[in-house]
Amino acid sequence: MPPRAAFPRAAAAAVGDARLRANLRHATHTIRAKRAAAVAELPDWELLRAAGAAIKDRTLRHLDHYLPRLEEAVTAAGGRVHWAADAAEANRIVVDLVRATGETEVVKVKSMATQEIGLNAALAREGITAYETDLAELIVQLGDDLPSHILVPAIHRNRGEIRDIFARRMGDWGRPAPEGLGDTPAELAEAARLHLREKFLTAKVGVSGANFMVAETGTMVVVESEGNGRMCLTLPETLISVVGVEKVVPTWRDLEVFLQLLPRSSTAERMNPYTSTWTGTTDGDGPHVFHLVLLDNGRTDALADTVGRQALRCIRCSACLNVCPVYERAGGHAYGSAYPGPIGAILTPQLRGTGTPLDASLPYASSLCGACYEVCPVAIDIPEVLVHLRERVVQGGQVTLRGTRTVIKPARGHAAERAALRAAAWAFDHPGVLRAGQRLAARTLRLHPRRLPGPGRAWSDSRALPEVPAESFRDWWLRTRGERDSHEQP
């Protein structure tokens, strides 16, 4: 991901894009009510949610126990396990594995981890073409675009735009779109089916992520809808799965929690159309070579933060995006990461650090309304982590960066704010001073501007300022009930 403008600027541009806002509003509002209904069907939802959080916490607190067990189980079942400390190492491993097959094309299942590490670009640099096969990823790839949503990477596109992209670009990548392609979802899905079928039938190498990995059995789980996942997981001879280390769960039984939480939170279905599980390799069924690349790339840095750690519970359902009023208006691209929305605002600054203006602005990309926490199926208290990361941005302090403990300085650009809040805190801690200030404000009423200068302009451009009343509550009380006032402290 190229470093881009800090969130507020990118978001402001998106707010001004009427079509983008209409697309996002339509899509997110469509899914909200459906999710609520799917969740309401399960009276034990809160217990499932608590269990999901607890299982993830158990795993994270003992990750050094579960990962070697997973490795052992995968290996025993015929798979090969590789470990990648960062994106560059993961990409190198995958490039080498593809090269060893002699192939120059791979088919891909939608995967957040490979988006995060920029795998497609790394493969392209080595002359290997990666074909995205998820419908939305295909739209993004054909449109030379970036994903803007975890579940629906092309959520920022409406059907008309998708039709245009297919008609214009499919021919450059393979089978062209049918003549006179319409814009109904059924026609668009049919065009994708025809375009990709040839790739599926000839592909020798598949690349995927995974939703879950079971330490006890070495089983990998991929949850999907379209069947492109099944194609990539079962037709090629070689399968390479790149998976974040936090995706491990302890036991087979634990899936009973997550396979209930994920589909209802994600696509608002009782169950997603297809779920594939595989354990190593199986004679006569599916790829006969299976590689698992376990990815750190900042995850252990997040693990080292006892408040921020909970972000690693995330099962990538995207429910938090769909309810977020900020995401709905800013769009996914403003977050400058594979992980947009509320979860991105806490995950990205932990995975990448808060060193760039963009990453330092992400923890502020929220009004702290709490809707994300309410819908999170693994109870990640996103507002709590946002505030925690704001503290890291403005106060600095001890963090872990690429495995090394270091002390970071406060981010630049917060000096005026720090001074103002410190002054406010000081005044609040001295009610006498506060009262003097209130009285001064009341006496100078006529001098108050209707619009504020400087940073305050951002407020008064769209919102009128309230009038400061002539008498504060404090003074009213003193005037009317002063005799009862027990103890005023200086």
Partner 1 sequence: MSSRDLILARIRRALTDVPRSETPADVPVDRGYARTHGERTAAERVALLAENLADYRARVHRTDAAGLPGLLARLLADRGARTVLVPAGLPTDWLAKTGSGTGSASGAGAGAEPGSGSGTARRVVDAAERTPRELAAVDSVVTGCAVAIAETGTLVLDGGPDQGRRRVSLVPDHHVCVVRVPEQVVDSVPQALDRLDPARPLTWISGPSATSDIELNRVEGVHGPRTLDVILVAD
Partner 2 sequence: MRVALFVTCVNDTLYPRTGRAVVTLLERLGVEVDFPAAQSCCGQPQYNTGYRHQAEPLVRRYAAAFRGYDYVVTPSGSCAAMVRDNYPRIGARAAAEGRGRELTEAAESAVPKTYELTEFLVDVLRVTDVGAYFPHTVTYHPTCHGLRLLGLRDRPRRLLAAVRGLKLVELPGAEECCGFGGTFAVKNAAVSAAMGADKARHIAATGAETVCTVDNSCRLHIGGTLARRGSPVRPVHLAEILASTEGDIW
Binding site for partner 2 (CB under 8 A): 7-8, 11-12, 15-16, 21, 325-326, 329-330, 363-371, 373-374, 384, 387, 389-395, 417-418, 421-422, 424-425, 427-429, 431, 434, 438, 441, 455-456, 458-459, 461-466, 468-469, 471-474, 476-478, 481, 484-489
List the interface residues with partner 1, window 423-482 (CB under 8 A). none
For the CB of residue 441, give the shortest distance to partner 1 in the complex, in Å.
47
Does position 41 interact with partner 1 (CB under 8 A)? The reply is yes
Choose the one of partner 1, partner 2, none that binds residue 214, judging by a C-beta under 5 to 8 angstroms depending on kind: partner 1
190 binds partner 1 (CB under 8 A): yes
Is residue 115 involved in binding partner 1 (CB under 8 A)? no
> Binding string to partner 1 for residues 228 to 257, with x set by CB under 8 A, is what?
x-xx-xxx---------x----x-xx-xxx
Q: What is the size of the binding site for partner 1 (CB under 8 A)?
A: 104
Q: How far apart are CA 351 and CA 33, in angstroms?
A: 32
Residue 141 as a binder of partner 1 (CB under 8 A): the answer is: no
CB of 360 to partner 2, least distance (A): 11
Whole-angstrom distance, CA of residue 133 vs CA of residue 232: 8
If the CB atoms of residues 294 and 411 are measured against partner 1, the closer one turns out to be 294
**How many whole angstroms separate alpha carbon 129 and alpha carbon 199?**
11
Residue 34 CB, nearest approach to partner 2 (Å): 16
With beta carbons less than 8 A apart as the criterion, state whether 7 and 361 touch. Answer: yes
How far apart CA 83 and CA 347 sit, in angstroms, is 21
Extract long-range pairs of 366-375: CB within 8 Å, 24+ residues apart. Answer: 366/324, 366/326, 366/342, 367/325, 367/326, 369/325, 371/320, 371/323, 371/324, 371/325, 372/320, 372/323, 372/324, 372/341, 372/342, 372/343, 374/323, 375/35, 375/265, 375/319, 375/320, 375/322, 375/323
Which residue, 406 or 444, has its beta carbon nearer to partner 1?
Answer: 406
| List of E strands, 269-418 | 274-279, 289-295, 397-401, 404-408
Please report whether residue 23 would count as binding partner 1 according to CB under 8 A.
yes
In sequence order, the 6+-apart residues with CB closer than 8 A to the CB of 74 are 80, 81, 213, 218, 279, 280, 290, 292
Provide the minimum distance between the beta carbon of 455 and partner 1 in the complex, in angstroms, as a whole number: 37
Of partner 1, partner 2, none, which one sits near residue 335, judging by CB under 5 to 8 A according to partner kind? none
Considering Cα of 177, then 163, then 194, then 276, what sign does the dihedral take?
A: positive
- Please say which residue, 39 or 215, places its beta carbon nearer to partner 2: 39
Look at residue 486 and give the partner it binds from partner 1, partner 2, none, a contact being a CB closer than 5 to 8 Å depending on partner kind: partner 2
Least Cα distance to 244 among 116, 129, 363 occurs for 116
Of positions 303, 382, 385, 411, contacts partner 1 by CB under 8 A: 303
Q: Which is nearer to partner 2, 258 or 373 (CB)?
A: 373
Contact 111, 209 (CB under 8 A): yes
